Amino acid sequence: MKQPTFPEGVAVALAASLAGGAIYTALNVLFPGAPLLRLLIAGISLVYVIYLLGRSSERVGRITTVAVWVIVAGMLWFTQPPLPLYLCMHLGAIWLIRSLYFYSSVLSAPADLGLNSLALSAAIWAITRTNSVFLGIWCFFLVQALFVVIPKQAFRRSGANRAGQAGTDRFQHAYRSAEAAVRKLSSIH
C-alpha cells in the first residue's frame, strides 16, 4: 500500500474543513454550543481514524482498533467530560493509532505527540483569531498532514552493526555445523 503523502494530507485537510464547516454552520441553529462541537469532534475523528487505517500498510487489528475507538468515543459522549478534555482524548486516540500503525521507533511516537500538540495549538489560534470553525479545522489538519515527514524509524543500523550481525550469523552457522559434526562422530563409535 502506498504511504500517505503531504499533498494527500492537504486534500484531507481541505475535505475535513469543508465538511466540518458546513456541518457546523447547518446544525448550529438546531444544536448550538458544546453538543454540536462534541458531535463534530467525534465525527471528524472517526473519519480521520478510518482514513489512517486505510492508508496503513499494517493489516492486523483494524476492526479491533475501530471497535475500541467507538467504545471509547461512546464512553466520552455519555460521560460528558469538559470540552477541552474531550478534544484531548480524541487527539490521544489519533496519536495512539498513528503511533501503532505508522511508526516502529520509540522516538517517532513522541515526535507525533508534539505534532498533535502543535496542530491543536494552530487550531485554537485560528478559532480564537477568526471565530471560524472552518479555519480551525483547516489549520489543525494542515499541521496533521506533516506526520508523513516523521521518520518511521528514528535510528537505522549502521554498516558496522550490520557487519557485526552478519559476523554473528556466520558464527552461529559455523557453531551449528561443528555441533552436527561432533554428533555425527560420536554416533559412529
Reported as a pLDDT band with limits 50, 70 and 90, residue 154 is: low
112 lies in some domain: yes
- Distance from first CA to last CA of the chain, Å, rounded? 58
DSSP state of 147: G
> What mean pLDDT do residues 151-160 have?
61
1 lies in some domain: no
Residues 38-79 pLDDT 10s: 999 999 999 999 999 999 988 888 999 999 999 999 999 999
Compute the distance between CA of residue 141 and CA of residue 17 in angstroms, rounded to an integer. 8
Residues 88-145 pLDDT 10s: 999 999 999 999 999 888 889 999 999 999 999 999 999 999 999 999 999 999 999 9
Reported as a pLDDT band with limits 50, 70 and 90, residue 188 is: confident
pLDDT at 160: 46
Per the structure, the count of domains in the chain is 2
Q: Which domain holds residue 141?
A: 6-149
Q: Tell me the H-state helices in the chain.
A: 6-27, 34-55, 62-79, 83-102, 108-130, 133-144, 159-188
- The verdict on 101 and 179 lying in the same domain is no
- The verdict on 112 and 178 lying in the same domain is no
